[in-house]
Amino acid sequence: MVLWVFGYGSLVWRAGFNYDERVVGYIKGYQRVFYQGNTDHRGTPENPGRCVTLLPKEESICWGAAYRVSGKDSEELVLSYLELREKEYDVRAYIDFYTVDSPAQPALRGVLVYIGSQNKQNNKYYLGPAPIEDMASQIARAVGPSGPNYEYLFRLEEALCEIGCAEDELIELANEVRKLLGGANGANGVKKLNGMCTHHVQKIGKQVNGALAH
C-alpha cells in the first residue's frame, strides 16, 4: 500500500513522520489562506492563533510538498499521527497533485490533504478573513504548546521560498507581523528573502503558465 500526503502549512518544513519520498508540487483550484484558528499548537482557546487552510478558488494553485509513505504498518502509523496533529481540521480530501514537469496531467492522484472548511457547524475553529492588520496582531500575540504563532508564519514563508514558491500575500502578512514585533526576527532579512525568491518564483510561474486551462 502507498499513501501520499500533501502538506501546505507546517508539513512543508516539518513532516514529523518517516517517509520514503518528498515531491515539491501544487494542487489546483485552492488558495492558501490564514483563516483557520488554532488552539492546540500555535495558540490557546483563550488566545487562538491563525494557521493556514485551503479556500476553494478557481484558477488558483497552492504549492507545497507531497510525501510518500509505503507499507500498511507505516501508513497506519502516519495516519494516526496526522489525525492527532491535524485534529482541528474537519475535512480529509483526496486531490490531484501536479509538478513543474507535469502541469497538464496529474503527477499523482488521490493525495490526502487536511482542510479546515468554512462550515462553522463542522469547523468551530474557522476564523475567516480579517483585515491584514488584525490578522498580524493576532499572530504576533498568540503562543501555543508548539511555540509562537509568528514562528509558524515565518517558517512557512522561509520554506516556500526554499522550494521556489514564495507568495506575495504571505510575505506581506509576515512583514506586518514584523512591524508589530519591532523589527525582531529579521525585518531586514525579509527584504533579502524576497530578492532571493524572485528568480525562482518567476521561473516556476513561466513553467506552469497555462496549466490551469487544462
> Is 158 designated active site?
no
Residue 30 sits at φ, ψ, to 5 deg, of -135, 150
Amino acid letter at 88?
E
Q: Choose which CATH entry (3.10.490.10, 3.40.50.300, 3.30.365.10, 3.10.110.10) describes domain 2-213.
A: 3.10.490.10
Query: What are the Cα distances from residue 165, in Å, to 1, 60, 97, 160?
Result: 30, 13, 15, 5
Once rounded to an integer, what is the mean pLDDT over residues 168-188? 83
N-terminal to C-terminal alpha carbon distance within the chain: 30
Annotated domain spans of the chain: 2-213
Query: What are the Cα distances from residue 74, in Å, to 4, 71, 159?
Result: 12, 5, 26
Q: Which of 86, 157, 158, 176 is catalytic?
A: 86
SS3 state at 178: helix
Q: Name the average pLDDT for the chain.
A: 90
183 pLDDT band (50/70/90 cuts)? low
Q: How deeply is 206 buried, as exposed, middle or buried, from its count of CB atoms within 10 A (0-12, 13-18, 19+)?
A: exposed
Q: What is the pLDDT of residues 146-157, one digit of tens each?
A: 999 999 999 999
